[in-house]
Structure 1
């Protein structure tokens, strides 16, 4: 782990002295007097100068350099599918597989949509249809696929301790563990941001499609986008099931392709990868949370959104601010990764709570760089009072359950064995160089774009 930290430090230091690459101008068709580009499945996206898509070069560069001073290790700005702006650290970080944390949840949503498009899964069905006989009690089996997509399963939440055993990693079987978590509310009645909820969804999806989740993902989603199997690492628990809540480590250049897919309403060139019908559902507010659709955050003032952003904004949101920001009305997509970078006068709790500060200040500068500024300047970010209750993020019963102890444990499933199935040893799933934050190192088995 020390070697990984050292590599990250060296990577960041090197990035600070790397300037933005000279942008090559792509040939494209004009739309409304501005250049438009086509999405591409090869390594290089089509590019345009900022002026060709309605930006002022100097002010756009200032916005990107601002982001670079705020722990944004990679920033990419696309308009009309054209890459028009890159952060000062991108030359070093573009190809490095980076943990996008809870943005992984949105990738799971895309995959559920693709399975739904193919008639392989019913969003309204209780998960009883997809679970093995006898697994889980009647209450848990009554949870619907849509409940899992909208985070309304009713499961008790302890966000940090739910995810901790995946980070270590010692989870025996995260889906079975989810079925041991008590329900605080009846399914479908209340929003509760559960990590185990999405691990269960990934398992249900795998059961519905009848093949390993990553095999389906590679063939149906990543191959068409030009994302190679060697580019990324998506962690599995010790039973071999893919995590849904986090731990997709993917290079920013590939992460941006997922943003472009969303920005193009599920189309990739001439191919409709994901139906517009599913995306309409995914981008619509759920009955219990006006900020949340199908594992996507939607609307201004939600999650890490600045309150002044356009009403149609949709985002993925991962710990430390790993985001895709899609604004259809402006044909604008921003991807960034990094380690927080927001500023608070209220210490660590303020940094964790007030993640909107950095997007607020960045998008002020980004919109100011647009020749026809679509949003009046809202002024500097005003920090709200601290409301964060750290106690709500932690519940030791999630940790005890891994050892088969406590009220959240599932009978016959613990760190040593789960439902009489063999378990891999901790850490054996990860390729060389992959640990918690990123995949780094010269080993040819280490994921990343090469």
Structure 2
């Protein structure tokens, strides 16, 4: 629905390619696919595909989480969990909504898409000089013993961001080896495993991601949800309904104040709880290289770094997945695409070449490549 103000804005910008469209705080304008050079019938096939391929796990996410991570020893729910809704999503071209489905205002968990929010908070710290260099050792900033020892003292911010730190220890009662342990071996093998040299092997591990959140809390000396709200979500016009949660016992004292250390995912509960519309605003900010209207929220330099293939895993940057390497979608040739991904089929797919964003909630995860291919076919 186009408001009078929205129509006036469009008239002012007619004929100018310099002014990108950004939604207002209260409204996001729509366009027919043909108006932005897309085929409506092809696009509808992508929407129908998303609706027909809902994530197969239970809508009671307590059940889905415990089933999905039952191989982890001692796994339990430690933070908030919320029952999910049905499939939902948006396709945004040139800033305008060209397709949508499901309840866009419903707040749902988004699991490891939270990691990409966390990466952005790390970017704020670098942009503002709170972290001088990503290659700095984290022990130079966090000196409470978390990074003591010959092995852990070698861990840098760069390694935490691309998940190659191989940090070894316990954070809020969870051992690093208990998170997504190898399929072979048992407790004794995992406890006494041979450590990898920091920076050489990428391992998807939420304990170490939560360690990044804990370390950034020490740097900002302010709860990360406040940092995210004040410096990203409020400036992009997000609602007040989203929440960033941590484990119920993950509290630390800083400057005489108790602060919760949040998680970078939700497989033990917690993480970002956010509506599709708010998540799309975050994605549009990233699509536009960190800019929102006349404000540079995140530097282009940071977002460029965030999507560089890491040496340990060419499919991964700074908590953004890349359509390259072993994780490349067989259905999509374009290797410039990058995306955030979370348990249960939560995705933000960014295509800067086409000024295109695909955002899906509760799509069967194995079907994301086909979904993206269908949308690309509509161009």
Q: SS of 1:236's equivalent?
A: strand
- How many residue pairs match? The answer is 311
Q: Structure 1: how far apart are the matches of 2:294 and 2:355?
A: 18
Task: Report whether the alignment pairs 1:113 with 2:123.
Answer: yes
Aligned to 1:365: 374
**Which deviations, in whole Å up to 9, do the C-alpha atoms of 1:251-296 show, x marking residues without a partner?**
0100001110111000011100000011111111111111111111
Is the contact between residue 301 and residue 308 of structure 1 (CA under 8 Å) also seen in structure 2? Answer: no
Task: Report whether the alignment pairs 1:280 with 2:304.
Answer: yes
One of 244, 251, 265 as aligned partner of 2:264: 244
Q: Structure 1 residues 181 and 86 mapped into 2: Cα distance closer, same or farther (>3 Å)?
A: farther
Name whichever structure is richer in strand by fraction. Answer: 2
Is the contact between residue 179 and residue 206 of structure 2 (CA under 8 Å) also seen in structure 1? Answer: yes
Q: Structure 1 residues 309 and 301 mapped into 2: Cα distance closer, same or farther (>3 Å)?
A: farther
Aligned to 1:226: 237
Is the contact between residue 37 and residue 47 of structure 1 (CA under 8 Å) also seen in structure 2? Answer: no
Aligned to 2:162: 150
Is the contact between residue 164 and residue 200 of structure 2 (CA under 8 Å) also seen in structure 1? Answer: yes
Q: Shift of the alpha carbon at 1:245? A: 3.2
- Matches of residues 398-413 of structure 1 in structure 2 within 5 Å? none
Is the contact between residue 196 and residue 245 of structure 1 (CA under 8 Å) also seen in structure 2? Answer: no
Aligned to 1:334: 358
One of 197, 207, 211 as aligned partner of 1:196: 207
Q: SS of 1:190's equivalent?
A: coil
Aligned to 1:130: 141
Q: Shift of the alpha carbon at 1:35? A: 12
Q: Structure 1: how far apart are the matches of 2:97 and 2:30?
A: 5
Aligned to 2:40: 57
Is the contact between residue 315 and residue 322 of structure 2 (CA under 8 Å) also seen in structure 1? Answer: yes
Q: Structure 2: how far apart are the matches of 1:134 and 1:58?
A: 58
Scaled by the length of structure 2, the TM-score of the pair is 0.75
The unaligned stretches of length 5 or more in structure 1 are: 1-21, 163-179, 343-354, 371-450
Q: Shift of the alpha carbon at 1:96? A: 1.3
Aligned to 1:374: none
Q: SS of 1:224's equivalent?
A: coil
**Which deviations, in whole Å up to 9, do the C-alpha atoms of 1:349-381 show, x marking residues without a partner?**
xxxxxx2xx1232233222322xxxxxxxxxxx
Aligned to 1:412: none
Q: Structure 1 residues 36 and 273 mapped into 2: Cα distance closer, same or farther (>3 Å)?
A: closer
Scaled by the length of structure 1, the TM-score of the pair is 0.64
Aligned to 1:411: none
Aligned to 1:405: none
**Which deviations, in whole Å up to 9, do the C-alpha atoms of 1:178-210 show, x marking residues without a partner?**
xx9977311111111111111010111111112
Task: Report whether the alignment pairs 1:80 with 2:94.
Answer: yes
**Which deviations, in whole Å up to 9, do the C-alpha atoms of 1:28-69 show, x marking residues without a partner?**
64679x998511241322221111111122221222122111
Is the contact between residue 154 and residue 187 of structure 1 (CA under 8 Å) also seen in structure 2? Answer: yes
